[in-house]
Amino acid sequence: MPVLLSRRLLLQSSAAFATLATLGFRAQAQGTGGRLIVAADSEPKNLNPAIVASNGVFFIASKVIEPLAEASFTGEDRLEPRLATGWKGSADGLSATFTLREGVKWHDGKPFTSADVAFSAMNIWKPLQNLGRIVFANLSNVETPDEKTAIFRFSKPTPFQLIRNALPVVTSVVPKHLYEGTDIAANPANNTLIGTGPFKFAEYKPGEYYRLERNADYWSEDQPKLDEIVYRVLPDRAGAGTALEAEEIHLAAFSAVPLTDLARIGKEPGIQIISAGYEALTYQLVVEINHRRKELADLRVRQAIAHAIDKDFVVRTIFLGFAEPSTGPVPHNSTEFYFSDVPDYEFDVDKANALLDEAGYTRGSNGTRFSLKLLAAPYFNETRQFGDYLRQALAAIGIDAELANNDSAAHQKAVYTDHAFDLAVAPPVFRGDPAISTTILVQSGIPAGVPFSNQGGYANPELDAIITKASETVDGKARIDLYNDFQRLVAEDLPLINVAEWGFITVARDTVLNVGDNPRWAVSNWADTALKG
């Protein structure tokens, strides 16, 4: 169990960090680029985003290792060039051509070329990366006619719409000269990063901090604005709020300050609460269902559970209004794919009870119809709190839910490897395209052990066919129509239950500038983030 960090304990942290914190705020007062001090609530075992495309990794590594493009609030493709300055897909979906940026150097001084892109794509994104395996499943080779052109060749039509949407997430480029001929998964460069980004990896002290320093040779003129970024390891979320109030850190992202503390801390002089910067990182509160369980294989039971959940209450009380009710597997803010014409399950306990009676699961003498094992994901306070709420909601319709709260490793093993659950609370992320977000939650045939995937044994040939067809449909409008059908069918058949969707909150000192200025800000490069002098 995490230990609450008192202000006294925070101030008595390691001498090394105390020095960093003092220098950080002093640099700001002197009007230099300054040292930005940030709360980090975890220490990823692998920091290479080319292998592990997760927010915990991107939060640190995206400042060091860059993708081909980043998400943007503006522009035709809602993308901002990074290592690529242009991209175009062929009409037949069998190739995609990228024009690469001139004058880019790796942090060790070697030139960045198309060979690095080709190596990353064929040797890491396609075979190793959790999301790249989907996007580049049919990638056959990458041609490099010159140092600034990379042509991706596909064995089957691959929607450029998917490739374009996935660029910020799956295309982190690593240096070929440091990885070629090595065991990529075990390469030390995975944790002592060498990239092309605005910051260089400087040092890591386990349990204390990560430190990044300014890349003076960055390709973008007058960037980065900061001299250093220090990620202070604060695994207890209450500690982040205390450190902000004590002016020991500048910023806490990903709702590191508990929602219950926002009203109070937002009144503190010099502190700002910012919701922008997570629009492309929408989290979804989902009830995963083990369809191997006879009762749960009955659609009427799944419908009854959906009717028993008061989504508005969940949004108001658990998320304190920093969320909205879900209608299906694609969130409202996905303007490209969201489809509203799907079945709705209003909160109605009487209807839920009637459905269970109809299904033949009548109440026993103790008022219970049957019992279930409920596992709540431990990653956020909100998922744990929803587990408590769901247990009570199920009790109201005669289902006795035994709630288990495990640590992250035990939870993932129970749900995604051992299938030792009946219902589970999960927070999957929608990353801009259903193919790299929600389809894996309902598609059949996913091997055991793949986290955040369909491990409930649900299989629907019609839904699988839609997913497969969409993966090979090049026409963007036709692909969107297929995902409309996908959303309708998921809402009708309820392989899982979508409850709410939310973005995170950044709490920062008002001395931090340019916070939340792109839809993936927390996991982007922070090249223009600055401190007031």
Indicate whether 217 and 327 sit together in one domain: no
- State how far Cα 23 lies from the chain centre: 32
Token pair in block for residue 121: 């794509």
Is the separation of the CB atoms in 21 and 250 below 8 Å? Answer: no
Token pair in block for residue 44: 């990823």
Among residues 443, 500, 521, 433, which one has the least CA distance to residue 473? 433
Tokens 């900061």, residue located? 226
How many residues make up the chain in this entry? 533
Indicate whether 525 and 446 sit together in one domain: no
Strand blocks (E) in 90-148: 95-100, 139-146
Indicate whether 20 and 105 sit together in one domain: no
Calpha distance 106→115 (Å, rounded): 13
Q: Which CATH number fits the domain that encloses residue 457? A: 3.10.105.10
Calpha distance 519→533 (Å, rounded): 26
Number of domains present in the structure of the chain = 3
Among 142, 176, 210, give the residue marking a domain's end: 176
Q: Which CATH number fits the domain that encloses residue 21? A: 3.40.190.10
Token pair in block for residue 406: 């495990």
Calpha distance 295→285 (Å, rounded): 22
Phi, psi of 429 (to 5 degrees): -110, 130
Query: How far from 296 is each of 174, 299, 302, 311, 451, CA to CA, in Å?
Result: 45, 7, 6, 20, 21
Indicate whether 148 and 227 sit together in one domain: no
pLDDT tens-digit profile, the chain (533 residues): 222 223 322 323 333 334 444 434 434 433 358 999 999 988 998 999 999 988 999 999 999 999 999 999 987 789 999 999 999 999 999 999 999 999 999 999 999 999 999 999 999 999 999 889 999 999 999 999 999 999 999 999 999 999 999 999 999 999 999 999 999 999 999 999 999 999 999 999 999 999 999 999 999 999 999 999 999 999 887 789 999 999 999 999 999 998 889 988 989 999 999 999 999 999 999 999 999 999 999 999 999 999 999 999 999 999 999 999 999 999 999 999 999 999 999 999 999 999 999 999 999 999 999 999 999 999 888 999 999 999 999 999 999 999 999 998 899 999 999 999 999 999 999 999 999 989 999 999 999 998 889 999 999 999 999 999 999 999 999 999 999 999 999 999 999 999 999 999 999 999 999 999 999 999 999 999 999 97
Does residue 167 lie within any of the structural domains? yes
- Domain span at 306: 282-502
Indicate whether 219 and 263 sit together in one domain: yes
Does residue 6 lie within any of the structural domains? no
C-beta neighbour count of 9 within 10 angstroms? 12
Among residues 8, 505, 37, 427, which one has the least CA distance to residue 263? 505
